[in-house]
Amino acid sequence: MHARSNPRYHALLSAFERPTGCPVLVKTSFNMRGKQIVRTPKDAFRCSMGTEMETLVAGKLRARQGQQDRSLARSCKEEFDPD
């Protein structure tokens, strides 16, 4: 990835690499088991609040789990049977 072709994504990878030493992010489907795949930033936020995800980055949105209203949290452990 070159800064010229996609500056925002390059900046994200560079920022991730600094503390981790790993300049790679893996894209995977984003959903909780039994729920449809996340399609909007609002869906992403709601889904992330039911997980142990530390930080959600979606477009210009950056939400850290510990800084959110805990009443918004849903436990996917209670909602779904374990795999």
Q: Where are the domains of the chain?
A: 1-28, 31-70
Q: DSSP letter string over 9-52?
A: HHHHHHHHHHHHS-----------TTSPPP-SHHHHHHHHTTS-
Tell me what pLDDT residue 53 has. Answer: 80
Q: Indicate the pLDDT class of residue 14, thresholds 50, 70 and 90.
A: very high
Tell me what pLDDT residue 15 has. Answer: 92
Tell me what pLDDT residue 65 has. Answer: 78
From the CB of residue 56, how many other CB atoms can be counted at a distance below 10 Å?
20
Residue 8 scores a pLDDT above 80: yes
- Give the integer Cα–Cα distance in Å for 35 and 4: 37
- Give the integer Cα–Cα distance in Å for 2 and 42: 29
pLDDT tens track for 29-80? 888 777 788 888 888 888 887 777 888 887 777 888 777 777 766 655 555 5
